[in-house]
Structure 1
């Protein structure tokens, strides 16, 4: 199982939110320097979220993210505000992102998902973000009333191989991940699932590994020093 250090970008800064709420954010400095740090500490892959794009739909952080990708040698997956073919193309072809994450459009425009998978194959992932048992969309601001497992199955039928599952209630709270739902999605779809939200200890990482997830995104626990990236990677093996 891979560990994905998380870099969330807002107003050009690396931040961490609690439950996706902008007013509950903590700054952690320059995202490019943070990317270099995680690479230096042995990360195999980075998880980047453009929070400004997620809430506004505009790729205002393109220059910063392009420089971030160019400053390191490891691959980057990125989500936030990806809603059109041009959004996908700009991130993958121009900015050099290795894998782009589709969120809201997976619910609102499944034809775009089909187009993206046909053109970019494994460079496409779908983010399934759940709040109170249903998929949340538009920067986690709206509830779709769609079951996360049902959406995962639909994406699997379209040829999507990679999903990122986040329990919003757990995100940034350091209270442990939603293991039951994570395991359910893995067993129902056997897709490559990357779990996100709530990781607070090395034991949490071990438990995520036992669900069959192929990856685990870690944010606040790394930034606050709950454990090191090296220890997280060891727990994931």
Structure 2
């Protein structure tokens, strides 16, 4: 059973879709209403990225996110610009359920460990943004010089248990996920994996479901949902029932 997680990317206070790490589309001037829409469509959680925050290295759109938390009755996980314990404390105090950190793990692993030890691995997860196998950071703009696998293994050593794996070159393209990369990450890390990037429709979800025995248990979807590539309510009913056609139940 894959958990389907709608993505909301916030830039300049608007709900956008980044494409391969660059500006793409504006879907809505009101992210709050967008979040409420996904809740009405039966979403169980939301994945929110502060795009400005990721680029600038600090929280930028938290006022929007804080209002979003109050507007919906489901958990929100937040990534983008979280580089210090102070910022993490702020977002948890504002009602965010889970934080996603990435750049911090490379630049300040001691701080990342302190945050993980304080809040636990169910509340703090690792965001792996990948381009050609390399971990990218600082809003997907800087090459870390480290492989994504090595970053994941280091995170596992620190105590992380979940990865959100996003392939930058697939992100926002609806060209299909990087199935090989997702599979390799799950196999090598031994961690739970949330897949992200490139989802185009139901067939991609069927293929991702085959990776569930390896620990791939959820998927973040953006553009394909916004552009109605499948019926949200019907899709979530299938997912929750574990009743995709043509696939064995896991």
Deviation, 1:180, is 0.8
**Residues 83-137 of structure 1: per-residue CA shift (max 9 Å, x gap):** 11111111112x2110000011111111112111110001001100001220001
Aligned-residue CA RMSD in angstroms?
1.3
1:177 aligns with 2:164: no
Q: Structure 1: how far apart are the matches of 2:99 and 2:46?
A: 12
Query: What's 1:143 paired with?
Result: 143
Query: What's 1:102 paired with?
Result: 101
TM-score, length basis structure 1: 0.95
Structure 1: 5+ residue runs without aligned partners?
none
Q: 1:49 to 1:118 in 2, by over 3 A?
A: same
SS in 1 for 2:89: helix
Q: Structure 2: how far apart are the matches of 1:144 and 1:231?
A: 40
Deviation, 1:235, is 5.2
Q: Which 4+ runs in 1 deviate beyond 3 A?
A: none
Q: Which moved more, 1:26-35 or 1:8-17?
A: 26-35
Query: What's 1:197 paired with?
Result: 197
**Residues 128-171 of structure 1: per-residue CA shift (max 9 Å, x gap):** 00012200011000111211112111111111112100000000
CA contact (8 A) 1:206 1:235 kept: no
Deviation, 1:234, is 4.4
SS in 1 for 2:74: coil
Q: Structure 2: how far apart are the matches of 1:30 and 1:110?
A: 35
Structure 2: 5+ residue runs without aligned partners?
243-250
Q: Structure 1: how far apart are the matches of 2:143 and 2:40?
A: 39
Instruction: Give the paired residue count.
Output: 235
Query: What's 1:89 paired with?
Result: 89
Q: 1:151 to 1:224 in 2, by over 3 A?
A: same
TM-score, length basis structure 2: 0.90
